[in-house]
Structures are given as structure tokens and as C-alpha cells.
């Protein structure tokens, strides 16, 4: 019994068209996975905003860090969450992806984060916009 792959295409003897078709399918699948990943992140952040966090302890600590930084800058994270939920979700998402967790924790603990967050925080520009508002 022969499969479709066994039949050669007289117009594509090297199978380039078939390979390109498979490549396109893989790219579409990758895009779908990226979309699902983004939707899942939004869902997790929305669930976190609504109540107890479904995130693991490390992720929850990262999300709490942004609230602590905001408080150190005299910003009320809960008021911002109510007034601008999308902004808060973006802040938390950036915090989840941050690679400077150790420095952030040290600066927050030392009480110096308000003066140094521009050096390490991926949310610095968003926080500055909130401070000017």
C-alpha cells in the first residue's frame, strides 16, 4: 500500500512544495500556541486580580513585588486595578517575565527601590506614566 508521500509529484521531484506545506503548518501551529499562551497569561492575571492567586509561589511573589514597588512610590495598586485593570495586568505580566527578581527584592527590602527602579524594572515607564497621571 502506498502513502501520499510515496507518490512523487512530476512538477516537484525534490518534494520542496510538500516540505514548504509542512513548514507552513508548523508555523501556523506555533502561532496558535503563542496565542493560547498569551490568552492563558491574561486569564491567570485576571484570576489573580479577582481573588486568590492560581499562580505558584514564585510567580505570586513576583506579582506582589510590583504592588510593593507601587506602594513605595505612593501609588495604590488596588485603586489602579479598579480604575485601569489592563494597565495592572500589563504591569503584572512584565513583572512575571522579569529577570531582576533578586535585585528588586533587595531594593524593596532596603527601602531604596523608589530611587533605583529605573535601573532594573521593566515597568519603569508604565509606573512613571501612572505617577504623572
> Is 2 inside any structural domain?
no
Phi then psi for residue 107, to 5 deg, are -65, -40
> Is 8 inside any structural domain?
no
> Is 108 inside any structural domain?
yes
Domain that holds residue 22: 16-132
> Is 70 inside any structural domain?
yes
Residue 53: predicted pLDDT: 46
Residue 26: predicted pLDDT: 82
**Is the C-alpha dihedral spanning 132, 90, 48, 60 positive or negative?**
negative
> Is 1 inside any structural domain?
no
Number of domains in the chain: 1
Place of cell 527602579: 117
Residue 25: predicted pLDDT: 83
> Is 11 inside any structural domain?
no
- pLDDT beyond 70 at 75: yes
pLDDT digit string (tens) for 103-133?
988 999 999 999 999 999 999 999 999 999 8
Q: For residues 56 and 21, which has the higher predicted lDDT (pLDDT)?
A: 21
- pLDDT beyond 90 at 35: no
> Is 71 inside any structural domain?
yes
Task: Give the pLDDT band (50/70/90) at residue 1.
Answer: very low
> Is 45 inside any structural domain?
yes
Q: For residues 30 and 88, which has the higher predicted lDDT (pLDDT)?
A: 88
Q: How many other CB atoms are there within 10 angstroms of residue 98's CB atom? A: 17
Average pLDDT estimate for 73-92:
91
- pLDDT beyond 70 at 51: no
pLDDT digit string (tens) for 12-30?
777 777 777 888 888 887 7
CB of 14 closer than 8 Å to CB of 21: no
Average pLDDT over the chain, rounded to whole? 80
Amino acid at each position: 500500500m502506498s502513502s501520499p508521500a510515496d507518490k512523487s509529484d512530476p512538477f516537484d521531484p525534490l518534494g520542496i512544495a510538500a516540505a514548504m506545506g509542512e513548514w507552513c503548518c508548523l508555523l501556523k501551529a506555533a502561532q496558535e500556541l503563542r496565542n493560547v499562551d498569551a490568552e492563558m497569561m491574561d486569564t491567570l492575571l485576571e484570576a489573580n486580580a479577582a481573588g486568590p492567586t492560581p499562580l505558584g509561589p514564585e510567580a505570586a511573589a513576583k506579582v506582589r513585588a510590583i504592588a510593593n514597588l507601587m506602594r513605595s512610590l505612593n501609588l495604590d495598586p488596588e485603586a489602579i486595578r479598579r480604575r485601569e485593570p489592563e494597565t495592572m495586568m500589563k504591569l503584572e505580566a512584565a513583572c512575571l517575565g522579569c529577570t531582576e527578581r533578586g535585585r528588586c527584592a533587595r531594593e524593596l527590602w532596603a527601602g531604596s527601590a523608589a530611587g533605583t527602579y529605573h535601573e532594573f524594572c521593566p515597568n519603569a515607564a508604565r509606573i512613571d506614566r501612572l505617577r504623572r497621571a
